[in-house]
Amino acid sequence: MLRKKLSSSHLQGVITALVTPFDKTKVNLVKFEELVQKAVEADLCGIVPLGTTGESPALSTDERHALIQRAIDAADGKLAVIVGTGTNNTKTTIENSRVAAQLGADAVLIVTPYYNKPTPAGLKRHFTNVANSSPLPVILYHIPGRCGVGIPASLVLELGKHENIIGVKEAGGDVWRSGEIAANAPDNFAVLSGDDTLT
């Protein structure tokens, strides 16, 4: 874990979303550790295990915990480990975030609840409850193409005032939206590009 609590000022540079390698039907933790080591050797800012690229909804609880622990051990405090703990269930997301904290993660990435398509008011309650309960700093994850619902820019800015929400990963492909959020967000709120076509 990083020596200090992760803040938006730490979120500068490259943060790689890691794939989850498999050997047929089993997670390949050796290959996964090699990916983390490559990130360390490349002097990246951080890694994201269990994000969209890591196929977290398709993994078992034991697989997720093993990947988090392996990422933290292999990173050895040399880069931030930001764990994708979001689900479409608020209580499960909170529990996942607490486990990530217990295992030594630096922050959590919370995806918009998928499938359920909550209203903006529902999104606000979800993210606020997670941020209030998470022992780790929270990064919002806007990826409407995968989740079926996005976080309105005005809500991102409102949530950005929460002391435990330190940024947003924008993966909606709308550079104007990202610019609007960046221009109006608090100084201690990071706007990260999660869309390869925009980086």
Domain ranges, ordered by start, for the chain: 8-198
Say what the pLDDT of residue 1 is.
40
Confidence class for position 10, pLDDT limits 50, 70, 90: confident
* Average pLDDT estimate for 58-68: 98
Is 161 marked active-site?
no
Tell me, what's the pLDDT at 12? 83
Give which of 182, 176, 173, 183 is closest to 150, Cα–Cα: 173
SS (H, E, C) 6-17: CCHHHCCCCEEE
The residue from 5, 38, 114, 141 that is catalytic is: 141
* 115 annotated active-site: no
Residue 148 has pLDDT above 50, yes or no: yes
Task: Give percent above pLDDT 70 in the chain.
Answer: 96
* Exposure b/e, 5-32, CB count within 10 A at least 16 = b: ebebebbeeebbbbebeeeeeebebeeb
pTM across the whole model: 0.93
Q: Which fold has domain 8-198?
A: TIM Barrel (3.20.20)
pLDDT, residue 196, reads 60
